[in-house]
Structures are given as C-alpha cells and as structure tokens.
Structure 1
C-alpha cells in the first residue's frame, strides 16, 4: 500500500494512468479466467491460464507504459493511446481466450457478454477510485 500511495501522490496523473493500465489488464484476464471456468467444460487453474496467456500481454503492456509516460507531457494523447491499447487488448485477448477454452460459436455471445460485463463493472470501480 505504501508503494501505491507514493505512486499516486508523487507523480500525479502519469502514475495513475500506469496503475489504471495495470489494473485493467489484471481485471480483464481475471474476468476471462473466471467466466471460462464457469461456462466451459475445460477448467484451467490460474497458473496454467497465466502461463498460456501471460506472454500474449507484452505488446499491450508496452503500449500502456508508453501511455503512462506520455501522460507526463500530454494527457489527451496519453488517454488516446490508453483507450487504443485497452480496446486492442480486449479484442485480441477475447480471440485468444475463445481459442484457449475452445468455445463454440453458439457460446461466444454469452461468454463475451458475461466476461466483458464483469470487466466493465470492475474497471469502472477501479477507475473511480484511481481517478
């Protein structure tokens, strides 16, 4: 908690954008893991899920770091990069998770609706707290 409070107080909006990106990724993957284990017959433990999907997050993590660094100079540009990274990450992760859990075409809408609903709800709460 001390590190988070230091980040939030010392660097202002830049550190908040970095934390928002980090929490967004964690919440997104958590909602996909929870929904995938809840709706499909293929159950993955958290370690196995992270091992298979974790390396896929590198490009999105880099974009989130760039967004955080740019926010020290231009908040509008940083927010644009953040939204682009989050939406691209959402689309790419959705496709990867559907493939990982072998979700049939009849379950796509149900799976994505529940997972993205959980993500949006938790992300809104985290965004309200951080910003």
Structure 2
C-alpha cells in the first residue's frame, strides 16, 4: 500500500511539474535557465579557445556554442535577444579567429589574441546575463 501511495505521489508531482513547464515559468526561472546556459557556453567557449585541439575542431565547437545561444532567443524579450545576438557575434568572431590558428605540435598560438577573443566572449556573456536579470 505504501508503495502505491509513493507511486501516486510521484505521478501527481510529475504531472504538476510538467503542467507548470508547459504553461511557462516565471521570468525569474526563465532568466535562471538562460543565465545558466550563457555561463556554460561562455566557459566552454573560453576553454575551447585555449585547448590544443586542431583549429577546425575549435571552430566547430565554437559554432556549436553559437547555435546554443541562438536557441535561447525563442521567447526572450527584445533586450535579451539583442544581448544574445551580441554574444552570438562574439562567438562567431571567435570561430573565424579559430580558423586562422596554426595546427601541429610545434605551432605557436598567439596568447594575447586568444585572450582578446576570450574577453570579448566573457563581456558579451556578462551583458546578456545582465539584460535578462534586469527585466
């Protein structure tokens, strides 16, 4: 009997949770989701730039991060969309930059140029998070 009650409680809770998600969350929860994704993308992109991977792999990863940011624009306010667009532009610039990175064991990559790309991504990510938080 106890097992049935627990199962019923889990089903009821899941149904309520699913109904809440389908109906749309609050702006606060939307911003939390968006900000978490922005943080993950920003950190991943910055780490990708300093990796020792081939330039084509770095470029591909950055383009993937860009796609994740574009997906966040659905249902976002105009201010957030604009800020996400700026982050997407920074990721696009970094992907173009990555295509110019030398490959090979002896290749020397310009640390200052990489740091500049990382900084542009971090600044755009901070602005996007701020745009969502101030709504």
Greater fraction of residues in helix: 1
Structure number, greater radius of gyration: 2
TM-score normalised to structure 2 length: 0.39
